[in-house]
Structure 1
Amino acid sequence: MRRLIRDISSVLIISGLLLVIDAGVTLIWQEPVTAVVAMIKQGQINKRYLSFRTTPLTPVERHALVSLKTLEQRVSFLARREARQVGPGDAIGRIMISKIAASYDVVQGTDDASLQKGPGHYPSTALPGLGQTVAIAGHRTTYLAPFRHIDALKRGDRIVLQMPYGRFTYAVQWHLIVAPTALWITHNVGYERLVLSACNPLYSAAQRIVVFARLSAVVPEGAARPA
């Protein structure tokens, strides 16, 4: 009986220590268990994204693309093509923010399952290259915490979205703290902009921190390049 009590006590002590360690790591870095889960899922979606990037155009698509003369037309055509092809949880591109050392594959969707894989694109908003608002959400303390430090972004900082058809660079304009119900942040404003959103403050979903950035450069890639 005494041995059983000692064994139970040891298990409880070890469990308590593990919880304390987990809490400590979460405070100074991010929640470690979900980080491992997200890391595995990022690897999986990256493979699917690379496969999608090499998907050839159909003969009809090639013919239509040849008839388009400007960069804007080709990029817009390919952006609409990708929007038709991607489904919930699929990788659509990669976001890179050098200021905060962030580089993650972006998935389609902002539901819980999608955000466990990485930053998620709001399906109700456009993809890059359509001259509209592109909105992406991400966690700050769990699942790799991709947007943990977006509060450090300042005016002029660069955010890059790498898509199969182009590399889009956005310059940060400002950031705001808004209510979770502030749907206006995803509205179109007459020019292409990128909107990043995440829960605020850390470890709370009471508010949203939102970063606004305006498109500053486009480099065509893949089929968008001039023939």
Structure 2
Amino acid sequence: MNWISVQLDFRKIFIGDLSFDFAAEIMIRTLLMFSMVLLVLRLTGKKGVRQLSIFEVAIIIAMGSAAGDPMFTQDASIFVSLIVFAAIIILYRLITFWASKSEQFEKVIEGEPLYVIEEGRFTLLDDHSHTFAKDEFFAEMRQASIEHLGQIKTAILETNGNISFYYYTDDEVRYGLPVQPKVYGKKSVQIPLPGMYACTYCGRTEKLEKGPAHCPSCKKNEWVTAINPVRIT
């Protein structure tokens, strides 16, 4: 049996034609371009990634593309990237100016806030055009010390990715869908005992008898025991 042996040239793989002089040049190029990216981000006035809209994320991607090649490509001059950066800044300023003058244009660029929860129930689940991830939203709720949907009057997904929660008062808290993994994980299509249960899909709560049941709102048949403790702040 013939074996084909391949001898790997690790120097060629990891170093190639790189010289010491160009390695030093890469470090200088990287420092310059990274500083430019930070400067442009500071000019936008944003304080963190969670404050960025989809439009601003697209701006950052464009800047990253413009900054990346000059960092390690000898034929890519830094001056060309500065021209791209200037064009991006001008475009950003123009679009934000137009958005401030036209609410309709702002909605096209930034999007609109979305109501995720109203009166302790999910409202987005019937809209097949959204990309709402319920598990990620549960994680956001747990970080806000929310134990179940019955504590929430309204939840709004903002255009920058943040979530605004508006809570029921302690005496208004109702039964709701639990968001803790161990509790939510005990879902079943069979109701074991009579009591209050929450639909795992839309969050609607119902008093159910033993046996199978379908949700009147979403027509799903998966349930978990509903809980109603008040929110601890």
Q: TM-score, normalised by structure 1?
A: 0.25
Rg larger in 1 or in 2? 2
Higher percent of residues as helix: 2
Higher percent of residues as strand: 1
Query: Could you say which structure has the greater relative contact order, defined with CA pairs below 8 angstroms and 6 or more residues apart?
Result: 1
